[in-house]
Structure 1
Amino acid sequence: MMQVARSTLWLAFFAAILASWVVMYTQSIGMGLDLLGRPGPIAEAMRNMDPNMDMAMPMAEFGPLWTMWAIMMAAMMLPTLVPTLRAYEDLMTSAGATRAGWAGVVVGYFAVWVGFAGLIAVAQLALLHAGFVDMLGIARSPLLAGLLLIAVGLFQFSRTKEICHGVCHSPAMYFVTRWKAGAAGGLRMGAGLGAFCVGCCWGFMVLGFVGGVMNLAWMGLATLFMIIEKLPQVGHHVTRPMGVVLTLSGIVLIGWTTATGG
């Protein structure tokens, strides 16, 4: 019976991830984008639409935009939770962890990311109406894209990144030091882990404005990196090299823009 409950929860978890990617793919194709986020004729026309025009445009409205970001958070961040959930399962015999608590961890974690989705949706609308990004969430200025790359790259070297990544990288230690039993306890611990994870990974969400928030290739690469960053054996070895790559990419982009007058 316990094995059936375990299998059911894991299947539901992975089904939610798969469904999120299917929805994002469907939305991207429906908007006329390819997997690299490159716009076709329809999407190109959408990019140049005025967000202040008196017509229904979901990418210029908070509700649909928040929903899109929330689904994106499920697609990108739930896969990175797998090592954490495995660590929680290891405590089921020694600390009285339960399947209800396991589910609570997932719900609490995702609730924090849904909240972050609302914040970044507000940020995207502000950038859109200020003319800094287009309707697809792509930075209109290479200078802005370069600055975002540099900012996220430098953050990889910060003390905040180190602390937050330390928690995400060693979830078992987090559970041991902040243990709460039951479903409510799992919910609280999941929310705490979600807060640290937002502190660790917010920059990769912001980088969506560099290549477009509907760029599935960026989503896939960012998800893969964040999974690797949380692996116990290699996580600490990839954070700063990625910071170097992002910072240099930003510098090169700004330098190229300045040299070409773009």
Structure 2
Amino acid sequence: QLSDRRSHASQLRMKSIANLASDTPQQKRRRRGQDEDTFGMDDNDWSIYKEISKEEDAWEEEEEHSQLKEYETKLLRYDPTFLPEHTFDAKNSVKNSLLFMFTRGVAPPYDPEDFAQIHQLHVNIERIRVPEALFQPSILGLDQAGIVETFGDIISRFNEEQRKKMVQSVFITGGHTQTPGLLNRLNISLRSILPAGSPLKIIHAKDPVLDAWHGAAMWARTNDFKNHV
């Protein structure tokens, strides 16, 4: 009820607070002919009440925290299972926060004076987001089709017989195709846009890093290449 600024209890409490702080306390009863007493309805009156309430809450929290530390001191002395890292201060330490662990890691313990640790680059969700950009370029802010959507658009331009042959020879190359789990993800995603039972076969290059270069080198030695130069 006290949290409601328009309640009778709140107005009485604020009036008492103001009377204590004022050199000329307001009278309890208004005289005949005076306007209605609206103390507590004004924002300034309410702000005073909130400030005092905050001070009271802060004092209570400080007292509770002091009592908690006293209990923890006794537990540390007599309970062998209660360790310093179990205390309230330790659990609420910045170093134990989820954000700190996310940016600094959990092992080894972060040492702000260690030059090597200061310049470490901790990779978290980036390991997943980087290859996922092949499927969802939008996560990088690119308004482009992903690899699965592009695949579907290409095979849709051919007839059914041609599509069956094409899906049996999906060749994957490039260094990024060595990302663990990428081929399995691609297989699942491609099957989701193909008719049920389609004979999908994904072929991974033996040397995905250099296969493209070897292919270009072989083509460069042909007469066809010379005609294009």
TM-score (normalizing by structure 2): 0.23
TM-score (normalizing by structure 1): 0.21
Q: Is the helix fraction higher in 1 or 2?
A: 1
| Bigger radius of gyration among the two | 2
Name which structure has the greater RCO, CA cutoff 8 Å, separation 6+.
Answer: 1
